């Protein structure tokens, strides 16, 4: 029988991973804008990172649901 803590553990793991991805994307965006990428591309960059972030979210959820070990108490 599967434990009720497994979905909570997966949710916490996804939140942590998406926080790391968000920080990475924000750093890349700020570096690109700092190195001379014009402000008119900011909306495009936001959309690209949002799409890549959604794909990363789906990837993390799919893999954690598939491969996360069962918690035994």
Q: What is the per-residue pLDDT for 69? A: 75
Q: What is the pLDDT of residues 19-66, one digit of tens each?
A: 999 999 999 999 988 888 888 888 899 999 999 999 999 999 999 888
Q: Could you tell me the pTM of the whole model?
A: 0.80
**3 state DSSP class of 60:** helix
Q: How far apart are CA 72 and CA 3, in angstroms?
A: 7
- Please answer whether residues 14 and 61 qualify as being in contact, where contact means their C-beta atoms are separated by less than 8 angstroms: yes
Using alpha carbons only, how large is the chain's radius of gyration in Å?
17
**C-alpha separations of 42 from 22, 37, 64 in Å:** 16, 8, 32
């Amino acid at each position: 029988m599967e434990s009720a803590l497994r979905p909570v553990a997966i949710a916490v793991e996804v939140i942590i991973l998406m926080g790391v991805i968000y920080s990475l994307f924000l750093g890349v965006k700020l570096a690109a804008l700092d190195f001379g990428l014009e402000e008119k591309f900011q909306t495009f960059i936001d959309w690209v990172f949002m799409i890549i972030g959604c794909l990363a979210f789906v990837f993390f959820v799919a893999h954690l649901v598939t491969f996360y070990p069962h918690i035994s108490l």
